[in-house]
Amino acid sequence: MAAEEVYSVERVMEHGPEIYAGTGLDVRAVVARMPHEVKEHFLLDRVPWHRFPHAYGTDDSVPLGLAALRSDDAAPVDRALGSLWSTVCHQGATSPSGALAVPFLLRAAADPSAHGRAGTLELVAELARPEHFGDGTRAGLLRSTEGRMLWDNNGYLVNWSVEAAQDAVAADADILLALLDDPVPGIRGLACYALATASGAVGRISAALHDRFRAEKEPAVRASLVLAIGQLAREHSDGRAVAWARALWSDPERPAEVRVGAALVWPCLVDDRVPEELRAVLDDTVTDDTVRLMAAVPWMRAVDEHGAGLTRCVAQMLRPDARAAVDSDPFA
């Protein structure tokens, strides 16, 4: 590819996006080839940001924002993080520049002295997911892939951007695996949320999540671990998780958040009709206290950021005909 070549929407419309597959205009290829020292030492000037626009075009705002995340002062970090959310994950859509940012976001979030770690880590997790905007259905809650082709406002294939972000998560899975032992519960939960999107190293990640689940004491993190294990199993066709999830939700000795999490995972893994036994478990365990507890779980925040994620999710899963009413009325 000539150095001066730029992404052409017209060429994509004529030949399809495959014309750029594997080239320097395929963000998946660029992320895969990013040298380790570039990521480790924040050598942002060696990343071809100019080839890959964000929501507002092409400029230096993404590398400048990433550099600002390393500030000792919380105020510029907050400003930079807000700007990054707006530019690389605008209205929930991943941009190619966002995928390029993932390795640096991970390293910023892993620094125990850094400001804004939770917001930075959540941005990674959202960049590695397709848009879902309140989708708590059986098909949507644990979805990491997009079956249809989606394009961003610059004409770039969103599917490639999401895949590149997921590949970046897999390549740096060790960073996130270490965060499963972070002293801050919210960071552990968000590490689960990000790890669930990984495109590779799935066996090692799943084993680590199971190990952490057996040791975890924080209820919201326990629920996050259940959902992360379920999402990896769904996206990578691990049928063993079906029996595992059923054993959890059907065990009355398990804590409510574990039973609820597993009761949400199980319908996402199978096409079977939801059994009355599972419905009864949710009737017993979805209390006001459980709803408040689960509001801290990232998957539930993605369904409803105002705290009603669990109730909305249960309504969408168990009463699919009610989804339209729930979507139009947040209090339905």
**pLDDT at res. 4:** 53
Helices 185-195 and 202-215, interaxial angle, to 10°? 150
**pLDDT at res. 139:** 92
| Distance of alpha carbon 73 from alpha carbon 91, whole angstroms | 27
**pLDDT at res. 320:** 63
Instruction: Retrieve residue 84's tokens.
Output: 């990054």
| Distance of alpha carbon 249 from alpha carbon 247, whole angstroms | 6
**pLDDT at res. 331:** 39
Instruction: Retrieve residue 69's tokens.
Output: 């995340």
**pLDDT at res. 145:** 83
**pLDDT at res. 328:** 45
Helix (H, G, I), strand (E, B) or coil at 192: helix
Nearest to 153 by CA among 80, 102, 96: 96
pLDDT per residue, tens digit, the chain (332 aa), is 445 578 888 999 888 899 999 999 999 999 999 999 999 999 999 999 999 988 887 889 999 999 999 999 999 999 999 999 999 998 888 999 999 999 999 999 999 999 999 999 999 999 999 887 789 999 999 998 877 888 988 889 999 999 999 999 999 999 999 999 999 999 999 999 999 999 999 999 999 999 999 999 999 999 999 999 999 999 999 999 999 999 999 999 999 999 999 999 999 999 999 999 999 999 999 999 999 999 999 999 999 999 999 999 999 998 765 444 444 444 34
**What phi, psi does 43 have (nearest 5°)?**
-85, 70
| Distance of alpha carbon 316 from alpha carbon 310, whole angstroms | 10
| Distance of alpha carbon 151 from alpha carbon 94, whole angstroms | 10
Q: What is the CA 319 to chain-centroid distance, rounded? A: 25
CB-based contacts of 173, cutoff 8 Å, min separation 6: 195, 198, 200, 201, 204, 205
Nearest to 300 by CA among 255, 265, 249, 250: 265
Question: Are the C-beta atoms of 99 and 161 separated by less than 8 Å?
Answer: yes
CB-based contacts of 128, cutoff 8 Å, min separation 6: 94, 102, 144, 162, 165, 166, 168, 169, 194, 197, 198
Kindly state the DSSP code that residue 149 receives in the 8-state scheme: -
pLDDT tens, 88-145? 998 888 999 999 999 999 999 999 999 999 999 999 999 999 887 789 999 999 998 8
Please give the single-letter amino acid code of residue 162. Answer: V
| Distance of alpha carbon 235 from alpha carbon 231, whole angstroms | 6
pLDDT tens, 110-122? 999 999 999 999 9
| Distance of alpha carbon 267 from alpha carbon 81, whole angstroms | 35
